[in-house]
Chains A and B, each alone.
Chain A
């Protein structure tokens, strides 16, 4: 049977987290706001209104482009793209058809695969439609939100890579702080183009486009579904139709969205209301200097001490990897990484990661106390969790450990005294005799007695050594 190779290209819309919209001085963060409350006459598309370009949207786009390893075009322009839809009051979208601000670049996936970026451009978002049974409602809070649309080359060939690519884009854009990256609220949305061609074929097959996916998981599932659907069609000798399809998370299927599709005709024209953008190279360099460390660099740096799987988990939390990088010493970073992963990445604690993380000093002292056996591994985790306790988080590690009463007694003299006290107790006599007679496992009982006597603060391995020496 012929083997079919999928070819996938992805367009990603990223809502920029500027304070105001792209062309009006209106609040751009409409989360939890009343419908149509963040709207100006410009967003309403009233006749005679002039769009007023937001300078920060330009610098955000530059930063996003640098995170995509892209060329930044020193000159870029805006165009009008005309279409009629109720979520677009002006009847055209202001976008960058011919001279986008962001040129060719690439995104490196966790496994090292490079996905090329064709270009990315700035444009305005449309309003939000909700559909009722007999009518639709329009909320224009989102109309005019700055977007960058990132267009990949068709370099992706599996559902897993499609997921990895979208997730990596999310990391790059949130690390670069150009978007809130809240997928649930549509801050990033993906359109996936997918076609199949027989293995070895030079020509690409006919593609279908699955629009408006809003999670990495739905990108992956939609691609898996399309590969199956298109394979079936081709194996039956039927043709894939070039069309737009919608995805349903509930059914796990894509369905055709073709209405009476008038041949698309956007009648692009230069946007006369917005003069061209010409960037000074210094502006680009200033943004480059502001760009934080990106996932690929962390991967490289952590690869010596952490497993690839753990690195990928940690990379979902930028504040966390920044904290680990602060620790400098590899052994310390490894210990702290493991603490984070064992204590915090458990479902019930994950939300703590949004809080302020422990300071470098707290973490270094914690690792040091653990190294010196002042804290057992259980106590270390206990103290670590207290770093997130609003009552405790400002205290230094030793004070927290003292307050919890978990510091292990390592002073051999003090320990010996406790051991002697325990051995002097009549109830331990039998165990001592048994041990001397060769029953080594009763040592555990004796260690337990000493631990009890010390209120759990003795270092068990030190106690064991002392007992062994005394009972020889």
Chain B
């Protein structure tokens, strides 16, 4: 798979990133480097093999359905956002 400016622009759009030309050019070369390196694995025949979900062979890692106090309260969490209004996160109009 070849990563070009178009692919980067598509991914940026999907993730709502604004990239400068410089950043975009660097990402093309970085990602191509990474993908080329990883594609060495392509020589293995993986047809009919389930994707690996996790490598520790764990199963059924779950917790009881009980409410517990949290480490962070509303004020702390809302403080992390750019703009707050009526205890809600204010974002540019969507829809």
Query: Which A residues contact B (CB, under 8 angstroms)?
Result: 18-20, 24-27, 34-37, 39-41, 44, 46, 52-58, 77, 82-86, 91, 129-140, 257, 259, 262, 265, 267, 270-272, 274-278
**Interface CB pairs A-B, < 8 A, 15:** A20-B65, A25-B63, A36-B78, A36-B88, A52-B63, A83-B14, A85-B94, A86-B89, A131-B94, A135-B93, A257-B95, A271-B53, A272-B54, A274-B61, A277-B60
B66 interface residue, CB < 8 Å from A?
A: yes
Chain B residues with CB under 8 A of A36: 74, 77-78, 87-89
> For the complex, what is the distance from the CA of A276 to the CA of B91, rounded to whole Å?
35
B78 A275 Cβ-Cβ under 8 A: no
> For the complex, what is the distance from the CA of A86 to the CA of B61, rounded to whole Å?
29
If the complex has contacts A44-B77, A44-B80, are A138 and B91 also in contact, measured as CB distance less than 8 A?
Answer: yes
Chain A residues with CB under 8 A of B77: 36, 39, 41, 44
If the complex has contacts A20-B65, A20-B67, A270-B51, are A275 and B56 also in contact, measured as CB distance less than 8 A?
Answer: yes
B94 A54 Cβ-Cβ under 8 A: no
B44 interface residue, CB < 8 Å from A?
A: no
With most chain B CB atoms within 10 A of its CB, the pick from A24, A275, A277 is: A275
Given contacts A25-B68, A35-B87, A136-B91, 20 further A-B contacts (CB under 8 A): A19-B66, A25-B67, A36-B78, A37-B87, A41-B70, A41-B71, A41-B72, A52-B62, A53-B62, A55-B64, A84-B14, A84-B15, A86-B94, A137-B85, A137-B86, A262-B10, A262-B13, A271-B53, A274-B61, A276-B54
B62 A40 Cβ-Cβ under 8 A: no
If the complex has contacts A77-B53, A131-B93, A274-B61, are A40 and B85 also in contact, measured as CB distance less than 8 A?
Answer: no
B26 interface residue, CB < 8 Å from A?
A: no
B38 interface residue, CB < 8 Å from A?
A: no
Q: Which of A39, A91, A135 contacts B15 (CB 8 A)?
A: A91
Number of A-B contacts (CB under 8 A): 133
Closest to A140 in B: B89
A54 B52 Cβ-Cβ under 8 A: no
Q: Which of B61, B64, B72 contacts A40 (CB 8 A)?
A: B72
B58 interface residue, CB < 8 Å from A?
A: yes
For chain B, residues 1 to 51, give those with C-beta under 8 angstroms from any C-beta of chain A. Answer: 10, 13-16, 51
> For the complex, what is the distance from the CA of A84 to the CA of B94, rounded to whole Å?
11
Chain A residues with CB under 8 A of B86: 35, 137
Chain A residues with CB under 8 A of B95: 129, 131, 136, 257, 259
Query: Which B residues contact A (CB, under 8 angstroms)?
Result: 10, 13-16, 51-54, 56, 58-68, 70-72, 74, 77-78, 80, 85-95
B53 A276 Cβ-Cβ under 8 A: yes
> For the complex, what is the distance from the CA of A274 to the CA of B53, rounded to whole Å?
8
Q: Which of A85, A270, A274 contacts B52 (CB 8 A)?
A: A270
> For the complex, what is the distance from the CA of A54 to the CA of B68, rounded to whole Å?
12
> For the complex, what is the distance from the CA of A44 to the CA of B65, rounded to whole Å?
20
Chain B residues with CB under 8 A of A86: 89, 91, 94
The 3 closest A-B pairs by CB, nearest first: A56-B65, A137-B88, A25-B68
If the complex has contacts A26-B70, A131-B94, are A53 and B14 also in contact, measured as CB distance less than 8 A?
Answer: no
CB distance from A244 to the nearest CB of B (A): 12
Closest to A85 in B: B94
> For the complex, what is the distance from the CA of A29 to the CA of B85, rounded to whole Å?
23
A137 B67 Cβ-Cβ under 8 A: no
> For the complex, what is the distance from the CA of A133 to the CA of B65, rounded to whole Å?
39
CB distance from A120 to the nearest CB of B (A): 19
A54 B85 Cβ-Cβ under 8 A: no
Chain B residues with CB under 8 A of A56: 64-65
> For the complex, what is the distance from the CA of A271 to the CA of B65, rounded to whole Å?
21
Chain B residues with CB under 8 A of A58: 62
Q: Which of B67, B80, B92 contacts A27 (CB 8 A)?
A: B67
Chain B residues with CB under 8 A of A276: 53-54, 59
A135 B54 Cβ-Cβ under 8 A: no
B65 A18 Cβ-Cβ under 8 A: yes
Chain B residues with CB under 8 A of A34: 74, 87
A134 B93 Cβ-Cβ under 8 A: yes
CB distance from A110 to the nearest CB of B (A): 34
> For the complex, what is the distance from the CA of A214 to the CA of B70, rounded to whole Å?
32
Chain A residues with CB under 8 A of B72: 40-41, 44
> For the complex, what is the distance from the CA of A82 to the CA of B15, rounded to whole Å?
9
A39 B65 Cβ-Cβ under 8 A: no
Chain B residues with CB under 8 A of A55: 62-65
A82 B14 Cβ-Cβ under 8 A: yes
Chain B residues with CB under 8 A of A277: 59-60
Chain A residues with CB under 8 A of B92: 135-136
CB distance from B39 to the nearest CB of A (A): 18
A129 B94 Cβ-Cβ under 8 A: yes
> For the complex, what is the distance from the CA of A270 to the CA of B64, rounded to whole Å?
24
> For the complex, what is the distance from the CA of A280 to the CA of B37, rounded to whole Å?
42
CB distance from B61 to the nearest CB of A (A): 5
Chain B residues with CB under 8 A of A270: 51-54
CB distance from B77 to the nearest CB of A (A): 5
> For the complex, what is the distance from the CA of A5 to the CA of B68, rounded to whole Å?
53
B14 A262 Cβ-Cβ under 8 A: yes
A265 B71 Cβ-Cβ under 8 A: no
> For the complex, what is the distance from the CA of A270 to the CA of B68, rounded to whole Å?
28
CB distance from A228 to the nearest CB of B (A): 26
